[in-house]
Amino acid sequence: MTRVVMAGLVFIAAIFAGMVTAKRLADPHFSLMRSLIGFFTPVPAPQALFHKSRLRVLLLGLDYNYTDQDIEYSAAARSDTIMALSLDLPTHSLHVLSVPRDMKYTFLDGHSDKINAAYSLGGPHAAERAVAQFLGLPGFDRYVVLRLDATKSLIDAIGGIDVPVTEAMNYDDSWGHLHIHFVPGLQHMNGEQAVSYSRFRHDACSDPCRIQRQQQVLRITIEKLRSNPLNDFAHLSALLDVVNQNVQTDLSTTEKMSLVKAYADFSMKSLQTDQIPYVSDQVLPNAGDVLLPDEAAKAKLVQRLFLDPVSGVGAHASATP
């Protein structure tokens, strides 16, 4: 059985770690950090850099398998987590639209499969094409791919998180390295525990509730980064190591720095999360049980989050593909 991994929050949280660092760098005593990060190195504003008011980013978390020797490998990996991000640059807002990995998708050659198969067939660019076509978007501006241990390492680097658990969870999968045992109440979780909590899908709601837990962990992690600035070098170094070792992206260093600076005043009220709903399921011969999306609801979500004019910006500016 493949290992289900929730890694979708790492890139977003890493950006916010940069925001916290950016704010801290305003302190004149942090000259070492200033020289390390290069915060005051001039970089263009995102709108000037990308020549648009809205940035579309595809974020993928990889699914891993195990050899008989219990070694992780990602050959022919599928994308376990699929999130389409809409960064509205003038308003400094962020929208996260999750696509359930089991959604039915018909590829260009005519065969149908789960949409998470796109990555295994052609890497990030194939996944970009498939998810964009599924959502009815002209494409994505950038992609971010997250490795298996990214989420665990990030949460460990910030000292864990406190998660309100609403139901008893008990599930063991030794082959998939998944052991989930939680009781209701506020639980302090390390990285391993938070990932296990996010991976749980053995309730009546299944994958949609798993996505809700992913987004809950995302919000809690971002809020901790905002409310408890990790301003010592050890924590900052650990966060940077998480990004360097576990993230593959076509965002350049200048582009990352530009986004960090632009979003330094980000408010949690400007974070919106949602997911594509489904109306039924279907069994495919070579793919198993797949989900059939609610096409009308999908179109409304995509229109509102990705295609409508950015607030405070003329339609001609935000409509730039």
User: Average pLDDT of each block of 10 consecutive residues along the chain (321 residues)?
Assistant: 31 47 42 44 84 93 61 65 91 89 92 93 94 97 81 83 90 69 92 84 72 81 69 57 74 81 72 90 90 96 92 46 51
pLDDT of residue 128: 97
Cα 151 to Cα 117: distance, rounded to the nearest angstrom? 22
Can you give the pLDDT at residue 306? 95
- Report pLDDT for 129: 97
Map out the domains of the chain as residue ranges. Answer: 10-159+231-309
Which pLDDT score, from 0 to 100, does residue 316 have? 36
DSSP letter (8 states) at residue 310: P
CA distance 5 to 146: 10
Instruction: Give the CATH fold of the 10-159+231-309 domain.
Output: Aminopeptidase (3.40.630)
The CB-based long-range contact list for 309-314 (8 Å cut-off, 24+ gap) reads: 310/53, 310/54, 310/88, 310/89, 310/90, 310/91, 311/88, 311/90, 311/91, 311/93, 312/90, 312/91, 313/53, 313/90
What does DSSP say about strands 79-88 and 93-98: parallel, antiparallel, or unpaired? Answer: antiparallel
**What integer pLDDT is reported at residue 29 of this predicted model?**
43
Q: What is the DSSP string of 94-158?
A: EEEEE--TTBEEE-TTS-EEETTHHHHHHHHHHHHHHHHHHHT-S--SEEEEE-TTHHHHHHHHT
Of 228, 177, 130, nearest to 1 by C-alpha is: 177
Whole-structure pTM value: 0.72
- State the pLDDT at residue 271: 79
Predicted local distance difference test score (pLDDT) of residue 320 = 45
Angle at 304 (CA atoms; ends 299, 310), nearest 5 degrees: 145
Q: Residue 214 has which token pair?
A: 């992913």
